[in-house]
Structure 1
């Protein structure tokens, strides 16, 4: 009969289960994989597969007691670290969604909304377009591989059982409010061009008061807004590279212990 000691069980728990919680928390909260499009069971299987591949390359894990309630603190710490890393990526993706929403409201396309299948909420069509665009760019440039690399490095720079998150991590987390500024910067060229269009309509109304600007201005603003968005697509790649590098650098700073 196979007999397992408490030390053996504790070693297995420390070497496999604790890293699994950090990996699973990241996969449950990050974009693309952590959305409703991917079933929870698939995400769990993927977390198990990554853990099996990653655990043999990790530093030695702490020896824990398998039935000690104090391990709940270690598990909560791993979940918090993984969730913070995934939350940074969520903010990066939603910066483009915010930009699409701002442009939609400015050009009169805010009424055209659809259900976002990834989050289950109603968003403007233009915001959903930007979300799909940044998703394709992220996958095409192997951003998901960089995320997994940062996750593997976090077990070295922020080891399991190395202590709770320090003030450094909360200072880095305080920088996560850049999403609104990033969304505004992404939409600023289109907002400026649409402002010029609206000023032109105002001059037309002043010059010809009998002109029904409401029946003419709305379709023209909508059409010109689509043209402006199409022209602005030429600069999306450079904007994406800057924001992606900032988001990934922020993830590295969160995974760094000081």
Structure 2
């Protein structure tokens, strides 16, 4: 019984970090996955981690409650960084929809429950399938395991609130916005030229109803450019996944005081 109590206390701490990680982590936090299955999977994964990492003896006292809060914050923070980077795909779709004229036709994303642009939903579905094809979900689970090497389970309070962590989050957000702009710039730039050509046409031929003609032209040109640049989009998504994994690791290092 005395040996069971430290193991149980360590298991609860690991379960706290794992479940908090799944709350914000892309793919695992989507509503398409039932909450019951996520809880069961998190409990089984935490049970495996108990026997996979070096867990010290922990006593249930006031310090233990602080460790529980710390584990929850660690899981949420690492998952949020991954979510911010994956949100670049939705932002890129929003840029494209605004130029195509689809910005007024937002739909409800069944995975997150939020409104999503049409092209953003398409890119997001493509990114999820690509992530699964590249076994990126395995790398995300590896991130939970290796987080205990950078942020020990018995460390009372890592480097939360330090200037390095805040600066890292800001730079990551800016980099995500830059990646979204890179994904959307081929179509956005092409549609800008189309708008310029339509504007010249409207001045040259005032009798032509440019609003009626321009809308289907912009949609057709957008799909043509999207088809041509699809390979480039997939390569950018691969770089985005790599950036996500590296950012998660760097954040773990910073939170661990490294």
TM-score, length basis structure 1: 0.91
Q: Does 1:63 align with 2:58?
A: yes
Matches within 5 A, 1:39-118: 39-65=34-60, 68-118=61-111
| Structure 1 unaligned residues grouped into runs of 5+ | none
Q: Is the 8 A contact 1:13 1:64 kept in 2?
A: no
SS in 1 for 2:51: helix
Q: Does 1:253 align with 2:246?
A: no
* The one of 1, 13, 17 aligned to 2:8: 13
Structure 1 stretch displaced more, 179-188 or 128-137 = 179-188
Tell me the number of residue pairs that the alignment of Structure 1 and Structure 2 aligns: 251
RMSD: 1.7
Equivalent residue for 2:21?
26
Q: Does 1:128 align with 2:125?
A: no
SS in 1 for 2:107: strand
Superposed CA deviations along residues 59-84 of structure 1, whole A, max 9, x for unmatched, are 1234222xx24322111111111111
Equivalent residue for 1:216?
213
* The one of 29, 32, 35 aligned to 2:30: 35
Q: Is the 8 A contact 1:59 1:155 kept in 2?
A: no
Equivalent residue for 1:206?
203
Q: Does 1:193 align with 2:190?
A: yes
Q: Does 1:241 align with 2:238?
A: yes
2-structure distance, mates of 1:247, 1:140: 16
Q: Is the 8 A contact 2:30 2:111 kept in 1?
A: yes
Q: Is the 8 A contact 2:58 2:64 kept in 1?
A: no
Q: Is the 8 A contact 1:14 1:61 kept in 2?
A: no
Q: Does 1:181 align with 2:194?
A: no
Q: Does 1:161 align with 2:161?
A: no
> Measured at CA, do residues 214 and 42 of structure 1 come closer, stay the same or move farther in structure 2, by a change above 3 Å?
same
1-structure distance, mates of 2:251, 2:189: 35
2-structure distance, mates of 1:126, 1:98: 10
Q: Is the 8 A contact 1:59 1:156 kept in 2?
A: no
2-structure distance, mates of 1:215, 1:8: 73
Aligned-residue offset at 1:119: 1.4
Superposed CA deviations along residues 232-256 of structure 1, whole A, max 9, x for unmatched, are 2121122112221111101011122
Q: Is the 8 A contact 2:55 2:153 kept in 1?
A: no
